[in-house]
Amino acid sequence: MELELRHLKTIRAIADAGSLTRAATVLGLAQPALSAQLRRIERALGGALFDRGRHGVRTTALGELVLERTRIVLPAVSELQREATRFARTQGDGERLRLGGTHGPLLGALVDRLADAAPGTTVTTCASWSERELADMLAQGRLDFALAGTCGSTPPPDSPHLVWEEIAVDPVFVMLADGHRLARGREIDLAALADEEWACVPGDGCFADCFTAACARAGFTPRRMYETDTASSVHLVQVGRAVGLCRATFPPTPGLTIRPLTGTPLIWRHLLGRHRAGQRPDTAATVLAQARAAHADAAARSDSYARWLAQHRPPSENMSDPAPGTGSISLGQGVG
């Protein structure tokens, strides 16, 4: 077996985690599969890299040698990839932008607006449920920009190479079937939904924990959560199987009623990420401005959000602001 970069990443993950169990969790592998992979790597390198014990693993002398080289090789390869992708973007006909985003309408709206704002630019997209995966792709130079989000005041995925700028801050709303007993109200107390099952799109941030904490403050534990794609979540709500959690800008949908939660127990920050050295200032400013405008368009199309903003916005603000939601909520109100 020839040694590959992925093998070096595996060795580093095991050393950083201090145990095969924790490393398997980080790498998304079953522990037996990781153990088998490590044995193959050790055979290729000619000896044991880790001493295994009751309390985890420790690197051997050979392991320390390999780790020392790994700390040089992996950053060098990552920087090579970033430089190569930045160089490739300057070649050929016209500019190319690679956008990433979590699943949601804002990514499509941004592509639509960039088609008008930068007609000579070729735009490609990549969607992922994982904010951390998008951050890794930005850091590696595989994406130019990424739309992501965080719950409350939770910081975005950390990397010294990345810049995250705020697009807007929204309350989290609930979606109900039109015939639901609470659908006629202007807003809904979270405690009134204690007996419901729930639907929400998945993610690797803290939103699930923040939601559980909000329910605990409301005096109950959520019964069942269906983590699934947006279309399936909508279906579960339409047929009365669950109530759904959604961003305030969720578009009007037949069969659904969108309502705010009393007291705004959950908020969501829309963020735009980019590599610190990867974009020209004018390109970064254009994409950020168009992302904020796309959010403003989505907010303007939502009657329930427009009513919420009218009640919660300071008198000095109005619906013509470029990013409804930004500044209208104190981050301290959020959970997480």
What is the pLDDT, as a whole number, of residue 175?
96
**What pLDDT sits at residue 266?**
94
Phi, psi of 146 (to 5 degrees): -140, 130
* Host H or E run for residue 151: strand 145-151
Specify whether the CB–CB gap between 106 and 298 falls below 8 A.
yes
Distance, CA of 17 to CA of 305 (rounded, Å) = 44
Size (the chain), residues: 336
* SS3 (DSSP) at 184: coil
Helix 5-17 × helix 20-27 angle, to 10°: 130
Task: Please state which CATH number belongs to domain 92-336.
Answer: 3.40.190.290
CA angle, 241 as apex, 236 and 247 as ends, to 5°?
50
Predicted pLDDT of residue 88: 61
Q: How far is CA 287 from the centre of its chain?
A: 18
Residue 5 DSSP label:
H
pLDDT-flagged residues of the chain (< 70): 85-94, 313-336
Task: Note the pLDDT of residue 200.
Answer: 92
Quick check: 171 and 264 in contact, CB under 8 A? yes
Cβ atoms 247, 104 nearer than 8 A: yes
* Cβ count near 94 (within 10 Å): 9
Query: What is the residue extent of each domain of the chain?
Result: 5-84, 92-336
* Measured distance CA(19)–CA(58) in Å, rounded: 8
**How many degrees, rounded to 5, is the angle at CA 172 between CA 166 and CA 177?**
145
Residue 264 has a CB neighbour count (10 Å cut-off) of 20
Query: What per-residue confidence (pLDDT) applies to 332?
Result: 28
- Residue 9's alpha-carbon distances to 73, 85, 133, 151, 267, in angstroms, are 10, 21, 15, 29, 35
Give the per-residue pLDDT at 321: 40
CATH of 5-84, one of 1.10.10.10, 3.40.630.30, 3.40.50.2300, 3.40.50.720: 1.10.10.10
Nearest to 248 by CA among 307, 201, 291, 293: 307
Task: Report if pTM > 0.75.
Answer: no
